[in-house]
Structure 1
Amino acid sequence: MASEPLDRRGFIKMTGVAATVAGAGVVIPGGVSPAQADGHRPRRKLKMVVGTQRRASTTAAFQEFTRHGVTHWVGYPPSPPLDKGRGYWLPSEVEQTRELAERNGVTLDMVALPFLTSSHIDRDSRPAIMLAKSPERDRDIDDIHKMIEACAIAGVPAFKYNMSLLGVLRTSEVPGRGGSTYSRFRAADLSKNPPLTKAGVVDADSFWERIDYFVQRVIPVAHHFKVRAACHPQDPGTPPGGYQGITNVLSVPGGKGLFKFLGLHRSPYHGLNLCVGTLAEMLYDPPREIYDIVRRLARTKRLFNIHLRNIRGHRDDFLEVWPDEGDVDHARIIRILAEEGYAYNVDPDHVPDHPDDPGGKQAYAHGYGYLRALMQAVESALDR
Structure 2
Amino acid sequence: MKMTFRWFGEGNDTIPLHYVKQIPGVEGVVWALHHMPAGEVWSVDDIAAAMKEMEQAGFHGEVVESVNVHEDIKLGLPTRDQYIANYKQTIAHLAQFGVKVICYNFMPVFDWMRTNLHEPLEDGSTALFFEYARVANNGDPMKLVEVINADPSLTMPGWEPERMQHLTAMFEAYRYVDEEQLFENARYFLQEIIPVAEQHGIRMAIHPDDPPWPVFQLPRIMTSQANIRRYLDLYDSPANALTLCSGSLGANPKNDIPAMIYQFADRIAFAHIRNVRVYENGDFIETSHRTQDGNVDITAIVEAYQAIGFTGYARPDHGRHIWDEQCRPGYGLYDRALGIMYLWGLWDAFEKKGQSTN
TM-score of the pair, normalised by structure 2: 0.79
What is the aligned partner in structure 2 of residue 208 from structure 1?
A: 183
C-alpha displacement of 1:175: 2.5
**CA deviations over 1:49-69 (Å, ceiling 9, x no partner):** 221122233897221111012
1:49 aligns with 2:5: no
Please identify the structure whose Cα radius of gyration is greater: 1
Q: Which residue is equivalent to 2:300?
A: 332
Equivalent residue, structure 1, for 2:165: none
- The letter for the 2-side match of 1:128 is D
1:130 aligns with 2:98: no
The answer to whether the 8 Å contact 1:78/1:89 transfers is: no
Separation in 2, partners of 1:184, 1:102:
35
Q: Aligned runs of 1:230-309 on 2, under 5 Å?
A: 230-238=205-213, 242-252=214-224, 255-284=225-254, 289-298=256-265, 301-309=266-274
CA deviations 1:134-169 (Å, max 9, x no partner) are 22x211111110111112222222211111113322
**Which residue, 314, 318, 326 being the options, matches 1:346?**
314
Q: Among 84, 91, 100, which residue is 1:148 paired with? A: 91
Q: How many residues align?
A: 314
Bigger mean CA deviation after superposition, 90-99 or 303-312: 90-99
Structure 1 residue 375: Cα displacement: 2.4
Amino acid corresponding to residue 321 of structure 1 in structure 2:
T
Which one of 348, 351, 355 corresponds to residue 376 of structure 1? Answer: 348
Q: What is the Cα deviation at residue 112 of structure 1?
A: 2.7
Specify the alignment match of 1:74 in structure 2.
30
Deviation at 1:92, TM superposition (A): 4.1
Deviation at 1:370, TM superposition (A): 2.1
| CA distance in structure 2 between the partners assigned to 1:279 and 1:334 by the alignment | 16
Moved more, 67-76 or 355-364: 355-364
Instruction: Provide the C-alpha distance between the structure 1 equivalents of 2:113 and 2:96, rounded to a whole number of angstroms.
Output: 37
On the 8 A contact 2:84/2:192 being kept in 1, the answer is yes
Q: 1:106 matched to which residue of 2?
A: 59
- Indicate the larger mover: 340-349 or 184-193: 184-193
Amino acid at match of 1:91: V
Give the partner amino acid of 2:3.
V
Counterpart residue number, 1:158: 101
| CA distance in structure 1 between the aligned counterparts of 2:337 and 2:263, rounded to whole angstroms | 30
Cα 1:177–1:376, aligned 2, differ >3 Å: closer, same or farther? farther
8 Å contact kept, 2:243–2:272: yes
Pick the aligned partner of 1:62 from 17, 26, 34.
17
Q: Tell me the amino acid that sits aligned with residue 264 of structure 2.
A: L
> Contact conserved, 2:32 with 2:64, CA < 8 A, in 1?
yes
8 Å Cα contact 1:79/1:114 also seen in 2: no
Query: Cα RMSD (Å) of the superposition?
Result: 2.6
Residue 296 of structure 1 and its aligned partner are, at CA, apart by 1.0
**What are the superposed Cα offsets for residues 114-148 of structure 1, whole Å, 9 maximum, x if unpaired?**
433xxxxxxxxx5322232222x211111110111
Distance 1:81 1:262, change over 3 A: closer
Task: Decide whether aligned partners of structure 1 residues 337 and 371 sit closer, same or farther in structure 2, where only a CA change above 3 A counts.
Answer: same
Alpha-carbon deviation of 1:220?
Answer: 1.3
Distance 1:210 1:81, change over 3 A: closer
Cα pair distance change 1:365/1:148, threshold 3 Å: same
Cα–Cα, structure 1 residues 224 and 364, in superposed 2: closer, same or farther, change >3 Å?
same
The whole-number CA distance in structure 1 between the counterparts of 2:113 and 2:9 is: 26
CA separation in 1, counterparts of 2:49 and 2:128?
36
- Identity score, percent: 26
Residue type matched to 1:372 in 2? W
Q: TM-score, normalised by structure 1?
A: 0.74
Deviation at 1:292, TM superposition (A): 1.5
What CA deviation, in whole Å up to 9, does each residue of 1:158-202 have, x standing for no partner? 211111113322345642142112333343343523577243323
Instruction: Describe the superposition over 1:254-305 as per-residue Cα deviations: whole angstroms up to 9, x where unpaired.
Output: x211111110101111111111111212333x5xx3322221122xx11111
